[in-house]
Each structure stands twice: as structure tokens, then as C-alpha cells.
Structure 1
Amino acid sequence: MKHIKIFDTTLRDGQQCPGAGMSYTKNIEYAQLASKINIDILEAGFPSASAEDYKIVNHIAKMYGQQIHSPKVAALSQLRADQVKQTIKALEPLIPSGRAILHLYLPVAPELMKASLGSYANDQTQILLDIANMIHMAVSAGLAVEFSPEAYSQMGENFDFTTEVISTAIAAGAATINCPDTIGRSCYLEGDDYFVNHMNEHAAIMKRRFPNKEITWSVHCHNDFGLALDNSMRAVFQGPATQVEGCFNGIGERAGNVALEQCIMYLKTFGEQHKSQAFTSQCRTQHIRQISDFVDAHMLPRQPHWPISGDNAAKHSSGGHTNAILKNAHVYQPFKPSDVGKQISFVFGPLSGSNHAQSIIQKHGYICDHNERQPIMQFIKDFHCNRRKGLTDEEFMQAYFAYRAPIRVSAIDFEKINNERHFTMQASVFDDHQQIDFICQDSDTATTALHRYLTENFVPFNIQSYRSESKEPGRHAEAHATISIASNNEFFQGKAHDRDIESAALKALVDACNQLLIEQHYAVQIDQPSFAAVGLRD
């Protein structure tokens, strides 16, 4: 197995993306996660960019320096002596263990050289001398050096100059040559001018010039045409690259860098199938979800359908898919979700089937017999007819409880006779239409009177709390009532709303009572037969 090193630039290139910057503390937390997942190299930042960036890189270097095993740490620097010295100082804690890397870069694409370097771009002799001096300075201080000919994929007419740049870097002591597709527009359809072909050419030239030196060839691809993964993997499988650079969740400048979780799983899934050489990374893939979730929470939001680690990557809704997965968990998954720290889950939606409905109900510990699946499923779909994007389990079970509700109130009326208020509820009670009558006497509230009726005719319980509020301004706003009840140390909360505050409270009490009855009659009981319909209390 050929080890492909993973170079994580989430903290450097990733944070150069607008809106993706993190606090000092979060940078350190990320470095801890990167160590946990076992990447090979963490590019911790650009120390000379600011005092804060210097502190972050230096803190990570100190933290890793106290660990027996940790990623190496790289830090970026331009071809300037003051920046190189600052970078050496930031990485100093890792120099004794050989885990400090200076990442030096210089543009080689003609247009970029003119735009970035000005008149300096025309003095190639001085450029080569500066490369040699800067690298020698770092190597003498005990650092390893990675050199990047920036915009390598767009070098064009500068192939020979780029050859001399790379050769000078290696002669001075650079151990890694990184070949970036800086603006993300490279494609294998370019033929001979494809950057991976140029990487092969340069690798062959350097092998002839430096036969006794082991050079790591690295690839750093941006995703402007959505080709970052393809280009990175071609550089490995068809080129000389043994190191891949990118960011978790594919963040980075413009359309981002190659997504490291995709590279890692690509190598894990297809690396062993390569005809002449097997490839692998040493990353602990089970931690992918954790680091991906961290980037999603603290840097940039991740799309739900993002490959490998997105929320929907192991989530299913289609009835046909769900039915098959319930029989064989991996028939609709390209890899085991547990490999990346995820689990298969389902979202109930308009295309879901009765098997899916039954599985959710049973997962929550309630009864759904085989002959009930279809009507329950249809009721739930009708109950949430406008939720075309799918239901949470909480919303699904809300509809299930509505289906099971023993008492369904359709109307509430009352009249005052002498000093008594007589209430009448039109209701369906266990599918039998009934009129519920109760009287509010003396200082009783309507809620107290209904509570007395329910405990006498259905099930005993105590009211624990009650509150009512208006969620909108104005005197015509609806009242939203919440009532909590308790029975045998179990608690249930009923909710309802109505334009009349008293009616809202009565409906909320019925809702709470219904949940208690459902728990008694439809929750799965050990060693007790399940049943679909019950009458009043026996």
C-alpha cells in the first residue's frame, strides 16, 4: 500500500475564504480535531499576516510539541526574508522533533507573475537566488521545506523557467514540491498541457538531476469547475503525487479547495483497486463527521447533500429505498456510513411508504400492526399535507398521536344557568360520537370542571402546570395554552390554541389526557399483546 499524505489547509487556505474565519480558540480546537483524525500535515496559517495569526500558529506548534504523536505543522510564507524568519520563529517548538515545515511559494504563471511581482518578475536570476537563500535559511534552522510554484497548472510558456525554479528549490533543500491548480480551471481534456502530465515531466527531470533525493510531489486543487477531486486523484493515480492538499468540507477561496473527506474516502474505496499500485491514507475515517460538523458550525455552512459528510448523505425518504434498506442496510449506500461516523436515517415525506411509517412508530415504542400501516401512513401524510420537504420524528409522532387520539373535540359550547356554567363538548370518543357535558360550579374554572370529568370517566391524573400566551399582537390574536399533567410519575404536556382563552385551555387539557391514554393503550408493553382499538376505561 502506497501511503498518500493528507495535507490539511483548512486553517490557512480555508480561512482565506470570506466569512470562514474563526476565533483564536476555535483554531486551536480545530487543530485538536485534525490530530484526532490523524492527518499528516496541518497548515496552521500564515504567521506574518498578523500578530493573531502568528499566535495561532505558535500555539498549535507548542501544543503539538507536547504530544508524542501529532501531525506535522506547516506555515505559509512569501519569498521574503523577514517573513521566513517570522515563520521559523512561530514553528520553533516543533523543530526538535522534525515536525516543522516552511511552506514557501512563488507564482510561475506569466500573467500572475506580472500581477503579483511587478518588475521583480523580469529578474529571473534574482528570483532563483532568493529561492535558494530562503530555503537554505529554513533548512539551516532545522525546518523541512515545501515549495509551491503557484498557478503551476497555468505556467504555459514558463515550463522551462518553472523547471529551474523547482530544481533550485530541491538543490537548496526543499523536500516537497507542491503543484497547485490555483484557479481551478485545469482539466484532463487539455491533453499534453494538462498539469498532471507536466507533473510527470518535472518528476522525471528531477529524478535525473537528483537521483539520490526523495522528493514528495504534492497536489493542491481548487474547485472552480467542480474538478478538484478528479484532478487531485488523477495526480495520484496517473501522476507522481503522494500528497494531497485541501480543506474539510471543501472550503477555501472562491469555489473552494478539494474536499479532504472526499479524497480520503476515494482512496479508501478505490485505492486498493488500482491495477498497478494500491493507495491509502492513514486517516481515521470514523472521525470525519465530527471534523466536518465543526467546519459546518464554525466556518461555513455545509450543504445537506454534500458528499460523504452532508446531513443527507445517509438519510433516505423514498418509499422504495426505505423498504429495501430496512431489509439490507447498505443496498442504497456506496459505503458504510459508520465508516465516517454517521448512521443511516430516514425522513418521512410524501414519497415514503407504510414500512417506513411502521418503523418510526415502533422505534418510538408504540404499536402499529401490519393491517394499520396503510391508514396510519395516509393519515400522517394528510395531517402534514403541506410539509413536502419531509417531517422530523417529532412532527411524525405528533400526527401519530392525532391519529390515535381517543377524544377528538369538534366544538365547545357553554351557557350560564343561574350561577352555574354548563359546558357541552361535541366529540368523537374512541370513534364513537358523544356529547360531553360538565358543569362549572361556584369558584371552579372550566379547566377544573373538565379535569374532574376526565378523571371520573377516563383516567386519573393531576394537573401540574398551566400557562396561556398570545404569540401575536392585537386583541384578536389567538391564545396558545400549554397544560402539563402527571399520572404514576409520568408526565404529559398538552398544547392547543383558540381565539377564546378558555377554549384553548380545555383543548390543551384534552390533548394532555389523550397522550396519557395513548401511552396506556398503544405504547408497547412487555409480555402484553398489542391491540389497535380500545374502549373506555375497563
Structure 2
Amino acid sequence: MSAPKLSPVPSSQPERLHIFDTTLRDGEQAPGFSMTAPEKLEMAHLLANLRVDTMEAGFAAASPGDTEAIRLIAREVRGPTICSLARATEKDIDAAAYALEPAQRSRLHVFIATSPIHREAKLRLSRREVIQTIERCLKHAAGRFDEIEFSAEDALRTEPEFLVEALSCAAQNGADVLNVPDTVGYSEPDEIYRVFADLVEKVERPDHVIFSAHCHNDLGLAVANSLAAVKAGARQVECAINGIGERAGNCSLEEVVMALQVRADIFPAVSHADATQIWAASQRLSRMTGTAVAPNKAIVGKNAFAHEAGIHQHGMIADRRTYEIMTPESVGVPGSSLVLGKHSGKHALSQRLAKLGYQPDPDRLNEIFAQFKAAADLHGEINDADLVAMMEGYSASGSQWTVLRTELRTTAGRKPKQFARIELEHPVRGRISDIASGDGPVAAAFAAVQRITGTDVDIISLETRMRANGSGREFVADIEVEIDGRRYSGRARGPDIVTAAIDALLFTLDRGEAYDRAEANQPTPAHAV
């Protein structure tokens, strides 16, 4: 099987930057991020939707499970090139070849360390022995894959002249991509630029061979280093969704893709990734691994398109370009968010109330604004549930339902069961209680609430946390649910985790009912203000 050439486009146009995604390999190696084969397949389909050029599906020789996951992805995913990592040994290369057999297009990613510390402490090989290993393994791989990528592990701590020699050897023995990893996140942008510029000039290689950057984030410079490499001539960047990976992680795919898109005026290459699929992939990975994305994470953090300061909110209301260099829709985010807090002004409050169906007169708005400011000083962020509660006098969750009592019980034995007795009060239906069981106290409580309210919802995510306030502490619950194919989210506070979670669920149920009423053009509860 001959390796096709990865030729750049004519120099009159921006060159093609290949996106190599390693979420399923390097990303999964991070503690706590392991995925099952079905989960890997689901993520692989999302990555295909994102139009990454190559996805590293795993490390075939690492385990039988990894081999089967790669074969599953290779068999069922079309579009991207499917890749397996391999050490520079015949056994690893054979394992990769078997795993990639069903692939529409396959790539071997073979590596060996080249730095002095790795050669001496880990490999116990001389320079000459490393070169001989590169020659031997690439000859063994020849003709068995559509593409071959060679990585010089710990390249940025390798002697410059030996790095040139090792990469030249790989290119002359069949490698189509030469990867230059900053394996331990040691470098910085100026140094990376100089290294890549030197390699582009000095490495002897066929015209189709491209350079790749694989940067780790130990010093928080993975994205900056990768972009510097692109400026110096790299035409592939290796990255992961949400920047997951060993130690402090890998270069973030979403940040590289959007940096190239937003600043196309300064970068010499462009990716063909579909940025509108970024949000979906990021959110699914976060839920799959049980690891939330930091709120201030670029592109995909919940605050990335959120604005609290009154000056910023006023500008956003007038023209979103005042404070946004990209639209949330460009990365698949549902929309910008004006976060209401103590820094927010009356313009933002009035706009949010209007979206909730309220149009208070000036005196009522001033009254609500004073309540809002007092609540913001006490709680920080104020959400829709809080505003509905201010306008309607509902419970703390913003729901018409009030939680009167929660009782939790667990049976003894080898397989204990959790039960919850919940008592709610409704202004029309009065007091109602019910008992239900579930896998855990919150699940049992949710089951009882759904029986009481007569609803059937799918819980997409639930996040709870404790925070200090002026009178001690409170618990905050953020929930996302799906009702009849539509998703709703809500937040509530409570004296304990279960009560806060129940109130958050009740608020989302009310939002779903309100949407149904509006869609059916039925009258909504009086908003006479």
C-alpha cells in the first residue's frame, strides 16, 4: 500500500493545516479520563463531524481493549484518517496494523525518544542505535499503512544537530509526517519558532513531507507554542478536545481552530475543521469523563460568551461585536449570556426580564432592581430562577412548587437500596407526598418528584457545590434536563444538596410547562406588574 502525498496547496493561497486529534489516545491517558470502547466510538463520530483530518484512536499495543476500540472505530467511522500509536518495535507496529485493518484510511504513528536524558536514562541507547532503530522500524512498517508519522519524543530537549539527523532518517525511510513534540511542555513560543524554522530549512525530505507540532501544557503555553510552530512552517497540529491529556494536558483543539479562524490575517495556514461542532464535542466529552470544563476556559467554558459587567452588557445589547471577537454560534454554543450579578446594570436586568415574559413599569423595575442588587451582593450570580421568584413570589427555586419535607433512607445488606419520601406544596394542588427508590438519594428524590408532578424527564447533568454566604453556607445545584426532546437548565440554592437539587429540577419542570403553554398559545400565569 503506497503512502499518498500530503502536498500543500499552491502558495498563492493559505496552506492547509492538518488537525490531528489525540483526545482518544493522549487525552485518554490522563488519570480519570479512561473511556470504554462504546464511549470512544461515540466521541470518534463527534470528531468526524468536526472534520478533524486524523484521529488517533488509541495505542494498539497497550491492551486488548485498546486494540478492539481502534478496530471498532476503524470499521465504523468514515472521513478522518484513523491512527494508532506505536513504539519503534516490530511487535507494536504489527499490533497497529491489525487494529487499523478495517480503516478507510490508516496511519501509523511511531515514536522513539531522541533527547539525551531519554536516551541515557530510559532507552540506554546511543545516538547511532536510535538511528538504526528508526531505520529498522520504518522498513518493517513500509507498505502496510496509508500514511506513516514519525515522532521524536522529547524533541525540544534533543541536540539540534541530532534532531535534524533523526528526522531526516525518518523522512528518507518512508515517514510522511515528522512530529516534533514538546513532550514535557518545556519550551516557549520564540524557541519553538526557531526550532521549527531550523528544521524546515535543514531536514532532508521529499516535498510532500510535512512537520507537525505536539505541545504539552505544563507551562500553560501549549496553544501559543503550537501557533508559533505553524508560523514557522508546521502544517499539522496535534491537539485534544478541552485540552485533555497527560499532566497539564495537550494543546486545546478548540483554541487552535478558532485562533486560526479569527486571526486568519496573521497565520499562513487554515484548517478545514467545522468549528460549529466544537461545543457539542466538548460538552459530550465533559459529561463522558465526569470532568467539568473550567468556567473561564477559552471557547468552551461557560463564561466564554458570558458578560456580567454593566458596561460590557450595555455594549453587547447595542452591538455584540463590542466585546465578542467571535460569535457563540460559530463554535456551536446556543448563544451569548448576560450573566446577572452585582456588576450588572438595569439595561441587562430589563432585557432578561423581557425574555422571561415580564415588562415591569419603571417603578416596579426600580423595586426589582433594588432586590436584585441585594441578592447579588449576597449570592453572586443571579439566574432566571431567582428573577422569577422575585417577580412571582414563588419558592427559592423560582418554581410554583415548594419543598416541605425530604426524608432519605438506605436499607442495610450487601445490596442496599435508597428511598426518598418527598412532600411538596402547590398553590392549586395543595400538599402532595410520595415515596420512590433510586440509585442514590438524589435519584430516589427525583423519582418521587416526577411521580408527584406527573412528569417524565431525562436528567442530562447535575452539578452541586457548597459555597459560603453571609450566614454560613449554602448548596447550589445546576441541572440540565430533557423534556419531550427539548433541553432546559436551571439552578437553585438550598440548605443541603438534595433540597437544592430538587428545587433546581422543579424550576426546569416549570420552564418546560411554560414553553408548552406559549407554543399552544394558551394564557400564561398573570404577569401583572
Q: Shared topology, TM-score over 0.5?
A: yes
Q: SS where residue 101 of structure 2 aligns?
A: helix
Q: 1:360 aligns with which of 352, 363, 379?
A: 352
CA contact (8 A) 1:196 1:235 kept: yes
Aligned position for 2:161: 160
Alignment of 1:364-513 (within 5 A): 364-383=356-375, 385-388=377-380, 390-402=381-393, 463=429, 466-467=432-433
Aligned position for 2:27: 14
Q: SS where residue 18 of structure 1 aligns?
A: coil
Q: 1:226 aligns with which of 220, 224, 229?
A: 220
Q: 2:109 aligns with which of 88, 98, 103?
A: 103
Matched, 1:321 2:312: yes
Larger radius of gyration: 1
Cα deviation, residue 353, structure 1: 1.7
| Total equivalences in the alignment | 408
Q: Counterpart amino acid of 2:55? A: L
Alignment of 1:216-295 (within 5 A): 216-237=210-231, 239-271=232-264, 273-274=265-266, 278-295=268-285
Over residues 81-122 of structure 1, what are the superposed CA-to-partner deviations in whole Å (9 max), with x where a residue is unaligned?
A: 11111111111112xx4x21110111111012222202xx12
Separation of aligned partners in 1, 2:247 and 2:151: 20
Alignment of 1:51-200 (within 5 A): 51-64=64-77, 67=78, 70-94=79-103, 97=104, 99-118=105-124, 121-122=125-126, 124-155=127-158, 158-188=159-189, 194-200=191-197
Separation of aligned partners in 2, 1:75 and 1:91: 7
Task: Flag the 1:403–1:43 CA change in 2: closer, same or farther, 3 A.
Answer: closer
Q: Counterpart amino acid of 1:288? A: I
CA contact (8 A) 1:219 1:235 kept: yes
Task: Flag the 1:182–1:348 CA change in 2: closer, same or farther, 3 A.
Answer: same
Separation of aligned partners in 2, 1:463 and 1:303: 41
Q: SS where residue 254 of structure 1 aligns?
A: coil
Cα deviation, residue 532, structure 1: 5.9
Separation of aligned partners in 2, 1:162 and 1:215: 16
Cα deviation, residue 166, structure 1: 1.2
Cα deviation, residue 391, structure 1: 1.9
Tell me how large the CA RMSD over aligned residues is: 3.1
CA contact (8 A) 1:138 1:144 kept: no
Separation of aligned partners in 1, 2:189 and 2:428: 73
Q: Counterpart amino acid of 2:332? A: G
Q: Counterpart amino acid of 2:223? A: L
Q: Counterpart amino acid of 2:225? A: N
CA contact (8 A) 1:38 1:71 kept: yes
Q: SS where residue 185 of structure 2 aligns?
A: coil
Separation of aligned partners in 1, 2:430 and 2:384: 26
Cα deviation, residue 366, structure 1: 2.2
Separation of aligned partners in 2, 1:463 and 1:215: 72
CA contact (8 A) 1:383 1:399 kept: no
Cα deviation, residue 383, structure 1: 4.9
Over residues 131-189 of structure 1, what are the superposed CA-to-partner deviations in whole Å (9 max), with x where a residue is unaligned?
A: 1221122222243110011111111xx33322221121111100000001111110245
Separation of aligned partners in 2, 1:339 and 1:129: 48
Matched, 1:351 2:347: no
Identity of aligned residues (%): 29
Structure 2 residue runs without a partner (length 5+): 1-13, 396-425, 436-448, 454-493, 495-509
Task: Flag the 1:403–1:88 CA change in 2: closer, same or farther, 3 A.
Answer: closer
Separation of aligned partners in 2, 1:382 and 1:163: 64
CA contact (8 A) 1:325 1:332 kept: yes
Structure 1 residue runs without a partner (length 5+): 405-450, 452-460, 470-480, 486-496, 498-514, 534-538
CA contact (8 A) 1:152 1:182 kept: yes
Task: Flag the 1:260–1:162 CA change in 2: closer, same or farther, 3 A.
Answer: same
Q: SS where residue 244 of structure 1 aligns?
A: strand
Q: Counterpart amino acid of 2:279? A: R
Task: Flag the 1:468–1:171 CA change in 2: closer, same or farther, 3 A.
Answer: closer
Separation of aligned partners in 2, 1:174 and 1:4: 18
CA contact (8 A) 1:4 1:244 kept: yes
Task: Flag the 1:367–1:526 CA change in 2: closer, same or farther, 3 A.
Answer: farther
Aligned position for 1:407: none
Q: Counterpart amino acid of 1:196? A: Y
Over residues 247-294 of structure 1, what are the superposed CA-to-partner deviations in whole Å (9 max), with x where a residue is unaligned?
A: 1111111111111100000000112x12xx742110111111111112
